[in-house]
Structure 1
Amino acid sequence: MIFHRDKSADGFVRRLRSYILQRFEGVWHFLEKVPFAARVINKVLINTAVTSTRSRPHPSSTLSPYTSWQSLTDKSYFARHLPASATAFPLPPIDDVLSLFHRDPGKARQCPKSTLLFPVFAQYLTDGFLRTEMNDRTRTTSNHEIDLSPLYGRTKEQTDALRTRQQDASLRGRLKFQGINGEIYPPFLFEEDGKTVRPEFCNADGKPLLDAPLGFDAASQNGYERQIFAVGGDRVNATPMVSMLNTLFLREHNRLAAELTARNPTWDDEQVFQTARSILIVIFIKVVIEEYINHISSACFKLRAEPAVAWKAKWNRPNWMTVEFALLYRWHSMVPDDLLWNDATIPATAMLHDNRHLTSVGMQQALFNTSTQNACALGVFNTPTFLTAVEKGAILQGRNLNVQTYNSYRRAMGLRPVSDFAQMTGDSVRQKALSDLYGAPDRLEFYVGLFAEDVNANTPMPLLIGVMVALDAFSQALTNPLMSEHVYNSATFTDWGMTEVGKPQSIAAIARRQLGDSANDLLLDKVRMTRKDWQRIFDRF
């Protein structure tokens, strides 16, 4: 159902820009093919997204309510877009707020644009750098970079444990792997007893080097039977779909390493590994912008991951993940209650921490299954029951860290504050629920406000989430060290590596490169984040 909210708080300039970018599709596609025009438009659109608010470094962090040298340098804490500010009014009881997120059984709202591949990729992407310390939610274990840590690990010790570290040409520079049903997958984490971590993934004292799979109870579940993989991230094994993407990038790393070894036979294991890693991180960043962000964007013009956009930009500053970014990426409502997997309907809960669903069908079929499953719509009243506890944790994190109100972040992002809930949603049910709980928009919590907004036309995102995702995506992806002016060259990647980086990048394209003649076009043609039946709509001005 499409709700028509009052857009007066969006501002005239933003409404006009959206109106133009979402129309005249033929003109925009023509301009994409004119190199100079495409570069200029690409730069303008990216700069417009990033400069919607002030640039880093942020003066505030979750370390303290004031600015200090430690708060400006200790990246074991989250940065803040806005300083902490305790609310001057009582907030509604947490269980009452949770009722806003509850999905009635059998009444999931579907996203008109996204397949399940979109939220699965979002999870894989953000699990690499949005990492809250479970015992102290002011802190983070993030490296603050898009570095494929779910594949490579967060630390050198983890990376070393995942590598073959062999000089033999057939294994040089590779990540560890195993064969299952004729395909390549990561090795298993556990011994056959399903509880003991394999010695190769432990240190000299027998302590596991890899982060334990989050949410997996090795005491009651058999990790060997469920084919829990040895991987760099603690959330990779959460679902077979996330494991699917990690496996895809493991295969791509090993493909790159094999090519580099063949082209540079004098290179040792270390140089092959590090060069393949660098190439793959840039390929991944290009997928982030050229497939993932373009899917989020409502514009007809397709954005490109052009490193030069950031080289002279005032916003080119070292990355530091913010607590607000960690909160806004809780897209639990996009998860279906059930998944159609090889013509069988399987409850989403039955697929948790069980990679047999991946290995039993293989990579191509798993990509197809994920891409032909519709995602659910982002927003309130649509979170599956098994994820409502996670919503509660997010609301509490926002409260405990004194995150400012929803309207405060609208102001910070260059939007007008809303004065009426009708400016957030055209749904009278949502309007009444928000009014009953909060009374007025100025009392609305940041986290709740993000998801109470209507999804905008031609994007899976509500307005404020979309603005903040674009801001952080570009300012974090294009400022990656590998994308910098004096690093992004053949000296870093080799001439062949630069050619690989320059190819069109998407999940389907990566799968095709690996599969070659064995690629099944009937399956891979369906691998996309955008639903095949999605049609652009022309929203009101």
Structure 2
Amino acid sequence: MSRIPYSVQKFQFSIAEAIPPLATLVNRFAINRVVKRARTRPHPLSTERDYVSWSGLTDKRWSARHLPPQTRDNLPEPEVLQELFRRREGTQRLCPKSTCLFPAFAQYLTDGFIRTESEHLTPEGQDPKLHLKRNTSNHDIDMCTLYGRTPAQTDALRLKSSDPGLKGRLKSQMIGDEEYPPFLYRDGAPDPDFAVLDPPLGGADQSPEKQAKLFAVGGDRVNSVPQVAMLNTLFLREHNRLAGEIEAAHPDWDDDRVFETARNTVIVIFIKIIVEDYINHISPLPFTLRADPSVAWNAPWNKPNWITTEFSLLYRWHALIPDKIRWGDDLHPVHTTFMNNDLLIRHGLLKGFAGICATQAAELGPRNTAEPLLKVELDSIKQDRFCQLAGFSDYCNYMSQNRPVSFRAISSDPEVSDALARHYDGPRDVDLHVGLFCEDRVPNSPLPNLILVFVALDAFSQALTNPLLSQHVFKRSTFSAPGWSAIRQTQTLRDVLERNVTGGVGDTFIAMTRKEWVPE
């Protein structure tokens, strides 16, 4: 049976979208259909034990599991499989749909929400060898990248002033006429005012010049690349802008109330962007999904969040990063951008966004990861094995997708399917991580099929269950009149940028979807 052309589907859905009650019903149906593909939380197992226990049901330092652990024999060495990911020199494949704003936002989202424990954050008394089974997430979308993971970190990042015009602000600095987070280093050494923050991952290995421009931020990965620092800077400005408006509307409020109200607002704005900008970019549907909190209010899947070990693994989207990324008028080799905030500071926020949005993302899939990022693929395969994850085929079945009956059913590329056949005894033996990224990309989406299904499941079941969106919390008084207005006026990152750069965005192209994209 031939597939209905995208243009025809778009026309059909446009009729539904033009009728608000019908659009609401279609939106509710689409979200529930996606979320009900898999078992609802709480999951019976975590990575702590391979049987049900009280701590396994309550100790969220351990990642949850969708499927029980499996012992799998006769698997190829991870180093052999790494070659399935290596980008051939001069042959990078580009994603027809995505700009580099898409992987930048994905990294910013996951660095704050899906946090496998880093070795340098292993708590005292815990076995460091088990860090890949644990996490440092708060399990809710809380923008800890901006506000910190703990109350002590939040306090260190706040200005905490009762002076008129300064209530509720986060600490910041002006460089020229642009607002940025404060620097982490002072006079060549870490600023003691920020000693409680998680040290930036890899920061100690950088040159003094790079260290001098690392920002004091809530997340230990925010400084990893300037496009992630760019997004954090945008939300810092939005928080402080909102704090100013909220204080003006409520001059009797103290610093704490202004801060908390601005934070409430920024978190909900971020969730709206996740659904209405990011997920709509990922979705192959011609229907525009909306972040309607009421969808979750009485839904059976509205359960407390708990990040799974599978979700932390499937978000390794390093193949999306092209060999070179645009900053200003120049293309920079990707390895030169690592922990290089000078690129952002030198060009400013608007030009930073413009350059990223003018850079086409690479295609997510096999044989397309840049050399400087290849080690992450190897480490991901090792994490898959260490956590004893079930095979790719089992997860297809779990998510109501067809099990692959052959290697060609995973990848239509003969070179990839033949390589899988050389390494594995059969399609049911393929590792989850390998199968996720060898599978064919879905038409009109930047993602392969099983990744797309998992991301959609968790995006809705974990974003729309945020406490700020609950039935008795999601109302104007929680956010104040200025905050409520900002929430209602936001659908995309472009909307937030428009409010936070001098003179607005103008006709600068800002989007995750390339303006040249043509539906397949």
Corresponding residue to 1:116 among 61, 78, 100:
100
- Written as runs of structure 1 = structure 2, the 5 A alignment for 1:53-452 is 53-87=38-72, 89-135=73-119, 136-193=131-188, 196-201=189-194, 208-218=195-205, 221-222=207-208, 226-452=212-438
Asked if the contact 1:190/1:223 (under 8 Å) is kept, the reply is no
Q: Which amino acid aligns with 1:200?
A: D
- The match for 1:32 among 17, 20, 38 is 17
SS in 2 for 1:346: strand
Amino acid at match of 2:353: L
Question: Taking structure 1 as reference, are residues 338 and 391 closer, same or farther at Cα in structure 2, changes over 3 Å only?
Answer: same
| C-alpha spacing 1:57/1:333, structure 2 compared with 1 (3 Å) | same
Give yes or no for contact 1:22–1:298 (8 Å, CA) kept in 2. Answer: no
Distance in 2 (CA, whole Å) between partners of 1:282 and 1:316 is 17
**CA-to-aligned-CA distance 1:7-54 (integer Å, 9 cap, x gap):** xxxxxxxx99x8587742122123212110100000000000000011
Alpha-carbon distance in structure 2 between the residues aligned to 1:434 and 1:28: 39
Deviations 1:107-162 (A, max 9, x none): 11100000000000000001011111123111111000111110000000000000
| AA in 1 matched with 2:284 | S
Give the match's secondary structure for 1:486: coil
- Structure 2, unmatched stretches of 5+, are 120-130
Q: CA deviation at 1:226?
A: 4.6
Equivalent residues of 2:353, 2:510 under 8 A apart:
yes
C-alpha separation in 2, matches of 1:532 and 1:21: 17
Letter in 1 for 2:201: L
Q: Find the residue that maps to 2:247 and give its secondary structure.
A: helix
How much has 1:197 moved relative to structure 2? 1.3
Deviation of residue 496 (structure 1)?
3.3
TM-score (norm. length: structure 2): 0.96
Could you say which residue in structure 2 is the equivalent of 1:10?
none
Instruction: Detail structure 1 runs of 4+ shifted over 3 Å in the superposition.
Output: 18-23, 223-226
Deviates more, 1:323-332 or 1:500-509: 500-509
In structure 2, what is the Cα distance between the partners aligned to 1:281 and 1:274? 11
- For 2:516, the aligned partner's letter is D
SS at match of 1:236: coil
Aligned position for 1:8: none
Residue 439 (structure 1) shift: 2.9
Please list every run of 5 or more consecutive structure 1 residues that lacks an aligned counterpart in the other structure.
1-14, 202-207
State the AA in 2 paired with 1:96.
V
* CA–CA separation in structure 1 for the residues paired with 2:504 and 2:217: 26
Task: Tell me the residue number matched to 2:36.
Answer: 51
What SS does the corresponding residue of 2:95 show, helix, strand or coil?
A: strand
The root-mean-square deviation of aligned C-alpha atoms, in Å, is 1.5
Q: CA deviation at 1:191?
A: 1.1
- Superposition deviation, residue 519 in structure 1: 1.8
- 1 CA distance for matches of 2:6 and 2:61? 39
Query: Which stretch shifts more, 495-504 or 56-65?
Result: 495-504
Instruction: State the secondary structure of the residue aligned to 1:340.
Output: strand
2:128 alignment partner in structure 1: none
**Following the alignment from structure 1 to structure 2, what is the Cα–Cα distance between the partners of residues 127 and 223?**
24
State how far apart, in whole Å, the 2-side matches of 1:236 and 1:520 are.
24
Distance in 2 separating the partners of 1:309 and 1:123: 27
| Matching residue of 2:123 | none
What whole-Å deviation, never above 9, does each CA across 1:455-512 have from its counterpart, x for those lacking one? Answer: 0100001100000000000000000000000000122112332222111321111011
1:499 maps to which residue?
A: 485
Q: Which residue of 2 aligns with 1:535?
A: 518
Residue matched to 2:465:
479
**Distance in 2 between residues matched to 1:227 and 1:392, nearest whole Å:** 30
Q: Which amino acid counterpart does residue 210 of structure 1 have in structure 2?
A: L
- Matched residues in 1 for 2:452 and 2:476: separation? 35
- What is the TM-score with the length of structure 1 in the denominator? 0.92
